[in-house]
């Protein structure tokens, strides 16, 4: 099984899990609680622009939960807004106020509903530290996952917006 967390788009071979019910959601649930899945039962966990919606105290327990359900040698693929890129855009003296507002929106969430808030920001070092503490290894950055048409591949001002990281659950 391959689990796509935070998705409302079905794709062959993937099971979708989202906190909000809707068309394309196979399982309604919270990414922090995968207790419906057995240990070592999922081949891949994919989450694009999900982790930043969690509070700091929830990051390690959530990543440990994702680690628990993965099979040995299974992989997690995580995409989050790249705070280094967003900060560079925000501090760029040539950008307009409207652009700065858009960058701020990407940093803190659109805040359109109770789930659309960002509580944490990531760069590779920070995300890698959390993944390592949760038990993952072989942590590396990739330019793209090329799996879904989602924010993991989005560009802003001609620059990729996302930090895309792959990690493995050791055998």
pLDDT in tens, 79-129: 999 999 999 999 999 999 999 999 999 999 999 999 999 999 999 999 999
Strand 155-156 to strand 159-160: parallel, antiparallel, or no bridges (unpaired)? antiparallel
Question: What pLDDT shows up at residue 162?
Answer: 97
Regions of the chain where pLDDT drops below 70: none
Show the tokens assigned to 57.
């105290």
Tell me how crowded residue 19 is: count the other CB atoms within 10 A of its CB: 16
Question: What pLDDT shows up at residue 59?
Answer: 98
Question: What pLDDT shows up at residue 34?
Answer: 98
Question: What pLDDT shows up at residue 131?
Answer: 98
Question: What pLDDT shows up at residue 37?
Answer: 98
Question: What pLDDT shows up at residue 28?
Answer: 97
Determine the Cα–Cα distance for residues 62 and 46; give it in Å rounded to an integer: 13
How many angstroms separate the Cα of 74 from the Cα of each of 46, 66, 114, 124? 11, 10, 32, 20
Which domains are assigned to the chain?
A: 2-168 (3.40.50.150)
Question: What pLDDT shows up at residue 20?
Answer: 95
Question: What pLDDT shows up at residue 32?
Answer: 98
DSSP structural state of residue 153: G
Question: What pLDDT shows up at residue 143?
Answer: 94
């Amino acid at each position: 099984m391959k689990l796509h967390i935070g998705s409302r788009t079905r794709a062959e071979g993937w099971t979708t899990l989202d906190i909000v019910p809707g068309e394309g959601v196979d399982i309604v649930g919270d990414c922090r609680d995968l207790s419906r899945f057995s240990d070592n039962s999922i081949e891949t966990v994919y989450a694009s622009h999900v982790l930043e919606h969690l509070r700091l105290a929830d990051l390690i327990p959530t990543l440990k939960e994702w680690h628990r359900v993965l099979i040995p040698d299974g992989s997690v693929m995580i995409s989050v807004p790249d705070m280094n890129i967003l900060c560079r855009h925000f501090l760029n003296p040539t950008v307009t106020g409207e652009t700065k507002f858009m960058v701020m929106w990407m940093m803190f969430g659109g805040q359109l509903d109770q789930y659309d808030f960002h509580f944490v920001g990531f760069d590779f070092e920070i995300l890698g530290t959390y993944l390592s503490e949760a038990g993952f290894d072989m942590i590396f950055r990739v330019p793209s996952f090329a799996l879904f048409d989602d924010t993991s591949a989005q560009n802003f001002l001609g620059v990729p917006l996302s930090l895309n990281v792959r990690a493995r659950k050791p055998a």
